[in-house]
Structure 1
């Protein structure tokens, strides 16, 4: 008999790729969605899964959702760099996690895999890679997203102490086909449209969404209770990333290094400029501050314990770009 699985955040980028993979497994797959959810990303597998209605921010709407469920993948979350959505970040990333984990424990769910973020691990600096044991230091930047993802991991630890079997998976900066909301994909689109005349001085750890989805399933099957696993790949500077995207897309633009003090000045000037639409939307100070840091990570624990595979990041950039081009989403 197959397992009963629930995926929260199943319409999101990572969640939808996971749902597509699980839909082929022969198990009963239930995607938790809101009545207002856009189901575009689940096209192609809707006939193989069940839609379950509820909202992670509303504990009472989850009543009965986890009854008789074997496995829960908690992918629901909001990624936002800036100050405008702080209450929403708290409601979804913190309160939502508490509601899902508590309801899972009370329903007797066998195991939960919680999707975290590298901002819950920390800022490595240019010459080292952080791992699962590194001390969290993102509080040196005023970034509510990082705080909420860090607090969500504390909630996981609390629930594990209460008896819930939960594993944490920490994806790096995720590219891939299906990124309809332009999370990491925004960089590809903006380089392609010559909207990136500057690049920040930091660096990032890059991974493909298919590797993340595969590793989430591996974490469910063979991860250790209460452990966290960083799922990343190549560590690259934003300069290298921009150059690789130019190579893949065939579009070249003079792109200059921009230190953080100059970014403050240019951001101020752009407020008054008619040309501001010609500059990437990634150009907000919260995002630029993070991109000026080095978020380099060591994924060897996931490779060792979960069999996570590696591929060069250029392949992921190419796959993402081709998918966007095929779907005419680069305009």
Structure 2
């Protein structure tokens, strides 16, 4: 395997930290670019080069990128729990700035971390990259706009562009993902359930997302200049995920049936829709290129629960 010089923007974030970690484990030369106020203790423990930067200054971004072959953009501000600004500066303006400076400074490949949050709830069937999305929530519109920024700027440059939409993630260093919120519900003895926990869902270990990002950066030859990939680790049901948390904690939590809430809400929130609609992803496109998932549901949940307990995130 050829070693590359990779630069990761957003290296202290939940997924970004795993991208940095997996790049390091593969022996690549890694620079992590973070905000000036970021806690870099984990990155420091990896021994990577950490650069704190004022993201408002394009020239400083360009100087840092120069000499790196692969650019990873894992920056994000908006999430399901925030009020979404459809012109969000991090998701749009900063992405444009990083991409432009990457192109100007000789980067060969740009990898944008996106999310399956972009997908609507119009179908219960497995979804692949060709699915025509009809946004229902502002967060979906924003994430699609960010992807469009990357695709459009990619058409204007010689850089290969890759967008990765990973399934909902389970893993260490979790601050506010769906899993940490479910874990808190479990601790409170109120695990949320709809349809007896039989609704299907695809999930993925954050270590596998990091592995996938490293693999995409090092993959030799794509047939297209612009590429979009889905990624999942395993298919499960919400009831099975509860059983895995029960096992990992050594405690069987009571369930909180959300049926009445659903009946009273014609306009379901994003969170309720995830419990009410099958969310299965078809990621054969990436697997057919040779990428292999490593972590099972049991391994993912045990790893995440141990980390949450260790950090006392309850």
Paired position in structure 1 for 2:288: 304
Distance in 2 separating the partners of 1:252 and 1:58:
51
Deviation sequence 1:165-218 (CA, Å, 0-9, x none): 111111111101222x13133145224413535324554310001111111111
Note closer, same or farther for the CA distance 1:57–1:289 as it changes in structure 2 (3 Å cut): farther
Paired position in structure 2 for 1:156: 150
Distance in 1 separating the partners of 2:305 and 2:231:
22
Deviation sequence 1:143-162 (CA, Å, 0-9, x none): x2221111111112112211
SS of alignment partner, residue 131 of structure 1: coil
- What TM-score do you get using the length of structure 2 for normalisation? 0.85
Distance in 2 separating the partners of 1:263 and 1:187:
19
Q: Which moved more, 1:85-94 or 1:290-299?
A: 85-94
Q: Would the aligned equivalents of 2:5 and 2:29 in 1 still touch at CA under 8 Å?
A: yes
Paired position in structure 2 for 1:32: 33
Note closer, same or farther for the CA distance 1:19–1:192 as it changes in structure 2 (3 Å cut): same
Aligned residues: 304
Paired position in structure 2 for 1:276: none
Q: CA RMSD in A?
A: 2.7
Distance in 2 separating the partners of 1:310 and 1:63:
35
Equivalent residue for 2:208, pick from 207, 211, 228: 211
Deviation sequence 1:3-39 (CA, Å, 0-9, x none): 3321011001111122122234444311111111122
Distance in 2 separating the partners of 1:57 and 1:125:
40
Segments of structure 2 that go 5 or more residues without pairing to the other structure are none
- What TM-score do you get using the length of structure 1 for normalisation? 0.81
Distance in 1 separating the partners of 2:243 and 2:34:
38
Distance in 2 separating the partners of 1:42 and 1:318:
23
The structural deviation recorded for 1:298 is 0.9
- Residue 78 in structure 1 maps to residue 72 in structure 2: no
Deviation sequence 1:228-272 (CA, Å, 0-9, x none): 11110223333332233223322223314323x625859xxxxxx
Distance in 2 separating the partners of 1:26 and 1:248:
32
Q: Would the aligned equivalents of 2:69 and 2:107 in 1 still touch at CA under 8 Å?
A: yes
